[in-house]
Structure 1
Amino acid sequence: MLKALCHCLNCHKTTSSTYSTNWVVPQPAFKVVKGEPTTYAAAGGSGNTAKRQFCNQCSCVMWTESPVFAGIVVVKAGVMDDGAFEKFKPASETFTSRKPGWVPCIADATQFPEAWQAAAPAKE
């Protein structure tokens, strides 16, 4: 599971902050165990439709899915219990080109000026 901060404009608006804090989970490992979320679909920074899932009880954003990151679910870390933020150390930051200049980079986190990119396979 990848832990990442996202500085895209949609995350600015969704969180009313400078970034969202996310766990990137493979689709097959993701399962909703209770409740039925409400979906909001809108064009993301890439122009593709991003679908954000909200709790229909408290309205918090729970996760996002998009064709840009097919096969994965981006879970908002704030919905997790048991001290999730204390255990969270981002491995990457995405859309850093949209990050306010006064927000420092996370030490040792891979920086992506735009969307997250998987590492290219090694050439033999």
Structure 2
Amino acid sequence: MNINGSCQCGAIEYQVSGELLATLMCYCTECHKVSAGYGTMTVLIDQNNFKLNKGTLKLWQRSSDSGNMNRAHFCGDCGNRIYHQNPDKPDIIRLKTGTLGNSADYTPQAHLWLKSAPAWVLIPKDTLTFQTQPPLANLLALIKEQ
């Protein structure tokens, strides 16, 4: 599988190959800020399956709501976030689905940080839900069990 993506202005273009590990919707307070809305959807991929075809990503890092470090890779021209990465788990990229050319094709397998979600958010039945952020290994194991 090959998926293409880009930033809003087109200065960044990338390709993803291989299997997607998970599709997640996050409602943490930082995702509220990133999206200027109520949250972000990401796909988890192996970093070896990400190839930057055009442009240079800028880097900014912060501590996340879960206490982990979060490295944000983004376009220096339009500011569009492309992916996040935890430096303690650099092999996994949390790619922002809105940057994918086929972003409407993804359905979240789990919803995270529901304690920060707006009351009007409707979660489909039989979808994994978490009030905060579960450990990544546990989350991936639960998604595989579905």
TM-score bracket for this pair, using the shorter chain length: 0.7 to 0.9
Matched, 1:61 2:81: yes
Tell me which moved more, 93-102 or 7-16.
93-102
Matched, 1:18 2:26: no
CA offset digits 1:17-57 (Å, max 9, x no partner): 11101111112222222211111111101222211111122
Q: Give the counterpart letter for 2:140 in structure 1.
A: A
Length-normalised TM-score, structure 1: 0.84
1:74 CA drift (Å): 0.5
Equivalenced residue count is: 118
Q: Pick from 77, 95, 109: which aligns with 2:127?
A: 109
Name whichever structure is richer in strand by fraction.
2
Percent identical: 23
1:106 CA drift (Å): 3.2
Partners of 2:125 and 2:39 in 1: how far apart? Answer: 16
Partners of 1:114 and 1:67 in 2: how far apart? Answer: 20
Show the counterpart of 1:46. 66
Tell me: CA distance 1:106–1:34, structure 2 relative to 1, closer, same or farther (3 Å). Answer: farther
Matched residue SS, 2:70: strand
Partners of 1:99 and 1:4 in 2: how far apart? Answer: 14
Partners of 2:115 and 2:87 in 1: how far apart? Answer: 21
Partners of 1:106 and 1:23 in 2: how far apart? Answer: 18
CA offset digits 1:54-92 (Å, max 9, x no partner): 1122211110001465521001011111x321x111111
Q: Pick from 106, 112, 135: which aligns with 1:88?
A: 106
Counterpart contact for 1:25–1:73, Cα < 8 Å: yes
Length-normalised TM-score, structure 2: 0.72
Extract unaligned runs of 5+ from structure 2.
Answer: 1-19
Matched residue SS, 2:52: coil
Superposed CA RMSD in Å reads 1.8
